[in-house]
Amino acid sequence: MVQYTQTRLDSAFAALADPTRRGILVRLGRGEASITELSESFGMTLTGIKKHVGVLESAKLVTTEKVGRVRNCRLGPHRLEDEAAFIAKYRRMLEERLDSLGDFLERTKGEPT
C-alpha cells in the first residue's frame, strides 16, 4: 500500500512540476477542451500537447474521450488528497523547526558571545 501511494505521489508531483501541465489543469477547470483547443491556447503543436495530456492522464489528473475525430479532455478523478496531506505534513515539520529556532534565539538573545 505504501509503495502504491508513493508511486501515485511521484506521478502527481511529476505531472504538476511542469508549468504547461498546470496551465492545462487550470484551463480544464473552466470546462472541457479538445486537444486542438489546448494546442491553440498554449501555442504548442498537437504532438506537444498530447504528450502533456498523456502525463496528466497517467497521473489520473485528466481524462480523455475520443468523439469522432476529436479527443476531448476534462479533469480526472484524482483529487490530490494524498499530495495535500504530504505538503501539510512537510509544512508542519518546517514550522516546528522554525519554532524551535525561534525559541533558541529568544533564550540566547541576552547572553554574551
pLDDT (tens digit per residue) in 57-89: 999 999 999 999 999 999 998 778 888 888 999
Q: pLDDT-based confidence at 1, cuts 50/70/90?
A: very low
* pTM for the structure as a whole: 0.76
Is the pLDDT at 34 greater than 50, yes or no? Answer: yes
pLDDT over threshold 80, residue 6: no
- Residue 16 CA to residue 58 CA, distance in Å, equals 12
CA distance 92 to 61: 26
On whether the CB atoms of residues 54 and 71 are closer than 8 A, the answer is: no
d(CA 111, CA 19): 48
* Sheet of 33-34, strand order: 33-34, 70-75, 62-67
Would you state the pLDDT for residue 90?
86
Query: Cell for 7?
Result: 508511486
pLDDT value at 5 more than 80: no
